[in-house]
Amino acid sequence: MQLNETEMKKILDQGMITRSIIESETAMKKCQMYNEMAKDPAVKGFFKEQAKGLEDVVGYFNKGMSDLQ
């Protein structure tokens, strides 16, 4: 099976986006866990904000993935 350059780029882009989604979801879950474990309100707030930001990033990557398909 031979792929043209456009198809190859699409496959590589999907792989990179998938990897970015997995990494961002993992980081988001860690932030949520640290938020639950933290005792200091400032630390809790920091990790809560980070988790929300990463949730937005995952949404952006998912939109990019749907655009590719």
- pLDDT tens-digit map of 36-66: 999 999 999 999 999 999 999 999 999 998 8
Name residue, tokens 């938020």: 35
Q: Evaluate whether residue 15 is within a structural domain.
A: no
Q: Evaluate whether residue 18 is within a structural domain.
A: no
* Among the listed residues 16, 29, 2, 3, the one whose alpha carbon sits nearest the alpha carbon of residue 68: 16
Structure tokens at 63: 């939109």
Q: Nearest 5 degrees, angle CA 27-CA 46-CA 25?
A: 15
Range(s) of the domain holding residue 32: 24-68
Query: Number of folded domains in the chain?
Result: 1
Q: Evaluate whether residue 2 is within a structural domain.
A: no
pLDDT attached to residue 63: 93
Q: Evaluate whether residue 4 is within a structural domain.
A: no
Ordered alpha helix ranges (H), 1-69: 5-37, 41-68
Global pTM exceeds 0.75 = yes
